[in-house]
A = this chain, B = another copy of it.
Amino acid sequence: MLTTELSETEVSALRTNKERLASDLHHSCQWGSGIRWGDGPTDTGMQRLALSQDDKSVRDWFIQTMKALKCNVTVDEMGNIFAVRPGRRSDVPATFIGSHLDTQPTGGRYDGILGVLAGIEVIKTMNDMGLETEGGVGVVDWTNEEGARFPISMVSSGVWAECIPLAHAHNLKEVPTVASLPTAASAPETMKSALQKIGYLGDIPCSYKSTPMAAHFEVHIEQGPYLVSANQRVGVVTAVQAYRWFRLNVIGRDTHTGTTAFEHRADALYAFAQMMVRAREVAASKGCLASVGIVDAKPGSVNTVPGQVSFSLDIRGPETEQVAEVEKELRTDFDAIAAAEGAGIGKPCRVEWTLDFDSPAVKFHEDCIDCVQQSAQAVVADASIADTKSLVRTIMSGAGHDSVFTSKRVPTSMIFIPCKGGLSHHPEEFSTADDCVTGASVILQAVVRYDRKRFL
């Protein structure tokens, strides 16, 4: 059976296997299972930081699994793993399904993991059916998507897209606050050395030129409350909001907490506290988000006023310009806050900004969006309600994903499924097996439809 020979009805009837997907997903979560939140065997979060021993174990399993499914596996210089099920034609790039197997330090079982596992499930379904595609179909595990260990998210799809220089990525040092890694605090490891250490520094150049793709599809939990609160089943993702990540340093003056009056202080942590409060005010007034995830106050002693504070600032908004406006206003406000703290002694605090990451708003590709839209409608038609169309909506992604970078080079789009309470980056992150298999079935059909679009 060949994709281009199927009828529309046959395509719409394609489904993946719910039990097998759930079983594989939880099997893969044995490596790096995290904080327990319930009594069930799978009621734990995940703590599988990029390139840790647990990440190595799940990578080994992924490669073994894909080879057993007759896929050709390659690893590039960023440790990205590409597993391709050959199509009828060997002269064209494969259509990829991709996401990531790394997690946040207190993450869950679905963010990223579902995307890769859905890819495995698609290949298993195609193999079982004996379904042949014109172009190949690949599954990719992108390295360090979370940016939790090495502080640029989507860094390896970024190198692949040639948006981030390889050397910059290789030299990234692990974040010391991620204390679960023994090296982080004392001698932070670089990404290159971490890749070497677990045997995943591949020799293929990390580039869309060396590993070309026809398209990139990604299924992901929404990580927000819209689908779940509207009882909708599928989000057809058309765009990704803009965001910018900064590192800020506030420089004040260390001094004794017991003997230094407030007016004699240049308290860098007090300045930070005011800045964080102000950041939410400004972002909210412009329909944006501003968040601090990391803060480090030095010297870190109960009775010394901190003279140095560094913190992360993550600003997001629907449009690139809105994010720029929030940044502009905060630069002015933070300067004013710093200038006031320490003014009494003529030694005001100073604040320095470093831009770590800039991701403008992304619009996904019409062809891919169409494939997802049709597939989503076909899959939710199983539901026992009259108006199944209402179970699908278009949606913008609040978070960045590897699809942001693939979209710079190849047609891309994404599929969202609901997650409990819209909660993510938390051990209790949860999606039902039904919702997971819906996502996998939609991506199966989307890949088939895209193959037909290319070759029919």
Q: Which residues of B contact A93 (CB under 8 A)?
A: none
Q: Which residues of B contact A424 (CB under 8 A)?
A: 255-256, 259-260
A262: interface (CB < 8 Å)? yes
Find the residue from A264, A269, A400 having the highest chain B CB count within 10 A.
A269
Query: Is the beta-carbon distance between A426 and B223 smaller than 8 angstroms?
Result: no
Number of copies: 2
Q: Which residues of B contact A306 (CB under 8 A)?
A: 292-293
A258-B243, A276-B269 known; A105+B175 contact, CB < 8 A: no
Measured in the bound complex, the distance between the Cα atoms of B378 and A298 in whole Å is: 42
- Closest Cβ–Cβ distance, residue A6 to chain B (whole Å): 36
A355: interface (CB < 8 Å)? no
A1: interface (CB < 8 Å)? no
Q: Which residues of B contact A300 (CB under 8 A)?
A: 105, 175, 177-179, 293-294
A115: interface (CB < 8 Å)? no
A423: interface (CB < 8 Å)? yes
Query: Is the beta-carbon distance between A316 and B258 smaller than 8 angstroms?
Result: yes
Query: Is the beta-carbon distance between B299 and A104 smaller than 8 angstroms?
Result: yes
Q: Which residues of B contact A261 (CB under 8 A)?
A: 224-225, 289
A282-330 at interface with B (beta carbon < 8 Å)? 283-284, 289, 291-295, 297-307, 312, 314, 316
- Closest Cβ–Cβ distance, residue A160 to chain B (whole Å): 20
Query: Is the beta-carbon distance between A255 and B425 smaller than 8 angstroms?
Result: yes
Q: Which residues of B contact A104 (CB under 8 A)?
A: 254, 299, 301, 303-304
Q: Which residues of B contact A185 (CB under 8 A)?
A: 176, 179, 184-186
Q: Which residues of B contact A212 (CB under 8 A)?
A: none
Q: Which of A69-77, A146-154, A407-415, A440-448 contacts B (4 or more CB under 8 A)?
A: A146-154
Q: Which residues of B contact A241 (CB under 8 A)?
A: 258
A273-B272, A294-B302 known; A259+B222 contact, CB < 8 A: yes
- Closest Cβ–Cβ distance, residue A182 to chain B (whole Å): 6
Counting contact residues on chain A (CB < 8 A from B), the size range is 35 or more
Q: Which residues of B contact A420 (CB under 8 A)?
A: none
Measured in the bound complex, the distance between the Cα atoms of B255 and A175 in whole Å is: 19
Q: Which residues of B contact A208 (CB under 8 A)?
A: none
A127: interface (CB < 8 Å)? no
Measured in the bound complex, the distance between the Cα atoms of B264 and A178 in whole Å is: 25
Q: Which residues of B contact A267 (CB under 8 A)?
A: 291
Q: Which residues of B contact A224 (CB under 8 A)?
A: 256, 259-261
List 17 interface pairs A-B (beta carbons < 8 Å), by A numbering. Answer: A106-B254, A146-B301, A153-B302, A153-B303, A225-B261, A253-B426, A254-B426, A257-B425, A258-B397, A262-B283, A264-B422, A269-B276, A269-B293, A273-B273, A277-B277, A304-B425, A307-B426
Can you name 7 extra interface pairs (CB under 8 A) apart from A259-B399, A294-B302?
A106-B307, A182-B186, A257-B293, A258-B399, A260-B398, A270-B292, A273-B276
- A residues with CB within 8 A of B: 104-106, 146-148, 151, 153, 175-179, 182, 184-186, 222-225, 241, 243, 245, 253-262, 264, 267, 269-270, 272-274, 276-277, 280, 283-284, 289, 291-295, 297-307, 312, 314, 316, 345, 356, 397-400, 421-427
* Nearest 7 A/B pairs, CB to CB: A177-B300, A185-B185, A259-B398, A257-B291, A258-B399, A273-B276, A224-B259
